[in-house]
Amino acid sequence: MTDLMMRGLAKDAGILALVCHTGELAAEATRRHATSPLATLLLGRGVTAGALMGGLLKNQQRMALRIGSNGPVQKLIAESDSYGHVRGYIAPATLDLAPSSPPPGSLGLFGNVGLLTVSKDLVRRGLSEGAVPLEAADLDANLEFYYRQSEQIPSLVRTGVALDENDAVDVAGGFLLQALPGHSPETWTEVTARVQELPPVETLVAQHDVDAVLAQLFADLPYEQLETRTPAFQCSCSTARARQGLQLLGTDELDALIDEGEAVIDCHFCHEEYIFDRAALEDVRRALLETRGA
């Protein structure tokens, strides 16, 4: 199915819902990082979560979801903006299967110590950041804990990815429910309990369009469909940004690169390579000196 995100609002109940198909987004992100099957599942869910969280943003706003741990998954990062542009990466990109019976206190692939950080660029309202320790082995549970602890918003998050026979992304998607100020706690409890009985999210989004999933989430609650977006993988890297990064190195390190004859800048998020030959590096050095002279 074509990637799509839809927002829905049950105004009287005070519940907001976002539903998305992200198969193409997840496939592109994992393809660029040549992920192993397990890393494909995790990164696919990560960029899906990023798309859902980005769906809560207003015009020109951006956000970043970052997970760091002492386990096999050292980093899982997803960035998105209000226009549906998403990028992300996982480190390492190849992961072995998780142990079937993790020891007590274990967070599974997140080891036993980890931190989830959400940073937001709210433009006129400035920058904000919230962080919580990882509480579970599951990505969705940690996101729910973040919303509950850091933003004091009751939330239900579900992300899912299914692989095809070649261990590539076959289907991906998810949904996010949030209780708005003034919501009915009883209704929220009823809705979340009913949602728990639905099929796994990857099965749900594989079988239904986003509007049909939205209808299942709200069931008998009156609601309205709001705007739709098309989440897509898009990286903000560029030759100009790579050049700026080189200028941060300083003249000594630039001289060393000039002696080597070439510098290759690889983007963590998309693995686009920016190659600077000796002449280009000399231009960067001259520009740096002119800036200092100014």
Q: Over the stretch 246-276, which tens digit does the pLDDT of each residue have?
A: 988 888 899 999 999 899 999 989 889 999 9
pTM over 0.85: yes
Whole-angstrom CA distances from 100 to 41, 42, 105, 108, 143 are 17, 17, 14, 9, 23
> Is the pLDDT reported for residue 100 higher than 60?
no
For tokens 């592109």, the residue is 28
Nearest to 22, CA basis, from 144, 186, 197, 171:
171
Widest Cα–Cα separation across the chain: 70
The first and second tokens of residue 8, run together, are 């829905």
What stretch of H or E contains 127? strand 127-133
What's the pLDDT score for residue 116? 97
Side chain identity at residue 150, one-letter code: S
Up-side HSE of residue 157: CA atoms within 13 Å toward CB? 23
- Please compute the mean of the pLDDT values over residues 234-243 and round it to a whole number: 90
Of the pLDDT bands very low, low, confident and very high (cuts 50, 70, 90), residue 294 is very low
> How far apart (Å, rounded) are the C-alpha atoms in residues 80 and 90?
15
> How far apart (Å, rounded) are the C-alpha atoms in residues 5 and 21?
6
- Please compute the mean of the pLDDT values over residues 116-124 and round it to a whole number: 91
Side chain identity at residue 240, one-letter code: A
> How far apart (Å, rounded) are the C-alpha atoms in residues 195 and 248?
50
- Please compute the mean of the pLDDT values over residues 60-80 and round it to a whole number: 95
What's the pLDDT score for residue 105? 61
> Left (φ > 0), alpha (ψ -120 to 50) or beta: where does 160 sit?
beta
What stretch of H or E contains 147? helix 139-150
